[in-house]
Structure 1
Amino acid sequence: MTTTVQMDFRTRLQNWIPKLVLAPSLGVIMVFVYGFIVYTVYLSFTNSKILPSYDLVGMANYTKLFQLPAWTLAITNLAIFASLYIVISIAIGLTLAIFLDQKIRGEGVLRPIFLYPMALSFIVTGTAWKWLLDPGIGIEHTMHLWGWASFHFDWIKNSKYAIYTVVLAAVWQTSGFVMAMFLAGLRGIDNEILKAAQIDGASNWNLYWRIIIPQLRPAFLSSFVILSHLAIKSYDLIIALTGGGPGRSTELPATFMYSYTFTRNEMGVGAASAVIMLMTIAAIMIPYLYAELKEVK
């Protein structure tokens, strides 16, 4: 009897120990992540300025937000940046993955080289690319020293092209990560299917276009979700690379939210912009999670 009670107690203790260990972390997450999300949503409906205010003003902040030219510009820049960033990163990542999947020599060396940029923070990436693209010390200056005096590459100083320098730096950082996801997908394809297609006379083009790439659908979806999330919340890369300039030519919703909350003392409007960003991310994540859970079931 005593032995049975002791075993029952040990079983219950083993079940409760993981919960007790995780409880503080879950509590901190609930307060400092989800709690502050709810608090931000509440502030977006208040008349908060330099300090939080609890006087509700309904949808006034959202109405004001979508009437601001700076917000319209930030949304336009996000559309340009996100579309180019996602498409180019996926295209380069898939190309590199197919290249490495050919069992080439030196794969063990090339793979970490392609992945290395993802190990850097966006601040480091932005700073490095700022130096490279600066006409006074970067690529343009180097070309002039080599005798190519007619070479000009001043996009980072040009308000019409500055947003494309952000795309360039972001693609450089994440293409290797996308490559790793596609490479994992390629290595997971059943070779018997490929051999059967080759026996039937399928060319390499048809092999990839009709068999291999369609089976990479999970990798495409994962890449799209991750890159979309990174694009929407991009802040540190912008600050380090262009500072949102020249003028406001590279301002994105994240930099807009920071400037209106902490610089212009419009906390209610800043909170509203943060909620719009959250809703955009949720619109991408929720269908993806639903599809994944439905597939598991």
Structure 2
Amino acid sequence: MNTRASVQPRAGHLFAPNSASRVRRNGAYWLQAWLPKLVLAPSVAAALFFVYGFMLWTFVLSLTNSRMLPSYEFVGFAQYARLLSNDRWLVASTNLVIFGALFIAICLAIGIVLAILLDQRIRHEGAIRTIYLYPMALSFIVTGVAWKWILNPGLGIQQVVRDWGWESFTFDWLVNPDMAVYTLVIAGVWQASGFVMALFLAGLRAVDDSIIKAAQLDGASLPRIYWRVVLPCLRPVLFSAVMILAHIAIKSFDLVVALTGGGPGYASDLPATFMYDFSFSRSQIGMGAASAMMMLAGVLAIIVPYLYSELRSRDRG
């Protein structure tokens, strides 16, 4: 009787190992579930504070009468009313429409054509692709300074052509108030069209070759195949390119400062240069904040419909 009692293990000894393993499993599960969140928490907190927090603060300043320093004397939407009645803001907004429309359209046209040409597996494709894409590696400051030399009437294209014998040749867009904004288009297209080319070339290489071969068997010509078959398959690439180019156009600042300085006068001003000048040079922080919120509204007007269309297409799919 005593021997049997001594051999039989106690209940605590039976369940202790299982309880310990269960605790270890729960601890490992908790660590696996929460460790990524703990690692990302500082970055998320910093983004919420330095991005969205400052956006909210800018909106608050746009409702105040702030000048050289922030002031929390709220005036409602008076700064927006002043902004919309400001002639320079109207010029900057008009320039943004002209610059943005031409910049996006020409970059898309050149980028698509270059991508289609490179998609033909031409010789030295890698070198040509690098040459087309190289301008995107430069900053807009470098691009602006380079094109300022090229378009300068005293030492650029106009002077070179006149030295060749065409004394009446004129290309003074850089100093012409009616044409200065188009110099921004030239420099911007030169830099960004290679990037659009790379986007569409990657999309073209992802298209199934069997679709093209089937269209060729049906007797379709190569231009018709690209126009009716291949390019419709690249709608996501097109939307992405438009969104990126529109974002570049809206926030263009360094290109304007380096190339035209917003001049002659403020003929080539864009909202970004207007915001900087009124916020820091003219000490009108309230109006500068209002112009910044108008630029944010322009970006949202592009992004929100795109995201809405993408979400609807996914739901339907």
With the shorter chain as reference, the TM-score category is: over 0.9
Q: Which residue of 2 aligns with 1:36?
A: 54
Q: Distance in 2 between matches of 1:115 and 1:67?
A: 41
Q: Distance in 2 between matches of 1:3 and 1:147?
A: 91
**Deviating runs (4+, > 6 A) in structure 1?**
none
* Offset at residue 258 of structure 1 (A): 0.9
Q: 1:92 aligns with which of 103, 110, 117?
A: 110
Q: Which residue of 1 aligns with 2:8?
A: none
Establish whether residue 164 from structure 1 lines up as the match of residue 182 from structure 2: yes
Per-residue CA deviation, residues 181-205 of structure 1 (Å, 9 max, x unaligned), is 1111111212212111111111223
Task: Look up the SS of the partner of 1:223 in the other structure.
Answer: helix
Which runs of no fewer than 5 residues in structure 2 stay unpaired?
Answer: 1-17
Establish whether residue 127 from structure 1 lines up as the match of residue 142 from structure 2: no
Q: Distance in 2 between matches of 1:295 and 1:9?
A: 41
Q: Distance in 1 between matches of 2:33 and 2:42?
A: 17
Q: 2:236 aligns with which of 203, 218, 240?
A: 218
Q: Distance in 2 between matches of 1:180 and 1:257?
A: 32
Per-residue CA deviation, residues 29-56 of structure 1 (Å, 9 max, x unaligned), is 1111100000111111111111111111
Q: Which residue of 2 aligns with 1:50?
A: 68
Task: Look up the SS of the partner of 1:56 in the other structure.
Answer: coil
Q: Distance in 2 between matches of 1:139 and 1:155?
A: 11
* Offset at residue 147 of structure 1 (A): 4.1
Q: Distance in 1 between matches of 2:109 and 2:123?
A: 23
Q: Which residue of 2 aligns with 1:247?
A: 265
* Offset at residue 292 of structure 1 (A): 2.2
* Offset at residue 279 of structure 1 (A): 0.7
Establish whether residue 155 from structure 1 lines up as the match of residue 173 from structure 2: yes
Per-residue CA deviation, residues 189-236 of structure 1 (Å, 9 max, x unaligned), is 122121111111112232122111211211111111111111111111
Q: Distance in 2 between matches of 1:195 and 1:44?
A: 58
Q: Distance in 2 between matches of 1:67 and 1:123?
A: 31
Q: Which residue of 2 aligns with 1:142?
A: 160
What pairs up with 1:261-272 in 2 under 5 angstroms?
261-272=279-290
Q: Which residue of 2 aligns with 1:259?
A: 277
Q: Which residue of 1 aligns with 2:7?
A: none
Q: Distance in 2 between matches of 1:286 and 1:226?
A: 13
Establish whether residue 113 from structure 1 lines up as the match of residue 131 from structure 2: yes
* Offset at residue 129 of structure 1 (A): 1.0
Q: Which residue of 1 aligns with 2:10?
A: none
Which runs of no fewer than 5 residues in structure 1 stay unpaired?
Answer: none
Task: Look up the SS of the partner of 1:21 in the other structure.
Answer: helix
Task: Look up the SS of the partner of 2:122 in the other structure.
Answer: coil
Task: Look up the SS of the partner of 1:128 in the other structure.
Answer: helix
Per-residue CA deviation, residues 121-160 of structure 1 (Å, 9 max, x unaligned), is 1111111111111122322333344444333322111111
Q: Which residue of 1 aligns with 2:99?
A: 81
Q: Distance in 1 between matches of 2:93 and 2:39?
A: 43
Report the AA paired with residue 225 of structure 2: L
State the TM-score, normalizing by the size of structure 1: 0.95
Q: 2:302 aligns with which of 281, 284, 291?
A: 284
Q: 1:187 aligns with which of 197, 200, 205?
A: 205
| Higher CA-based Rg | 2
Q: Distance in 2 between matches of 1:133 and 1:3?
A: 75
Task: Look up the SS of the partner of 1:156 in the other structure.
Answer: helix
Establish whether residue 296 from structure 1 lines up as the match of residue 314 from structure 2: yes
Q: Distance in 2 between matches of 1:235 and 1:81?
A: 13
Q: Which residue of 1 aligns with 2:21?
A: 3
Aligned residues: 297
Q: Distance in 2 between matches of 1:185 and 1:270?
A: 40
Q: Distance in 1 between matches of 2:28 and 2:145?
A: 55
Q: Which residue of 1 aligns with 2:226?
A: 208
Task: Look up the SS of the partner of 2:103 in the other structure.
Answer: helix
* Offset at residue 162 of structure 1 (A): 0.8
Q: Distance in 2 between matches of 1:99 and 1:201?
A: 21
Per-residue CA deviation, residues 67-126 of structure 1 (Å, 9 max, x unaligned), is 111111011111110110010000000000000000101111111111111111111111
Report the AA paired with residue 17 of structure 1: L
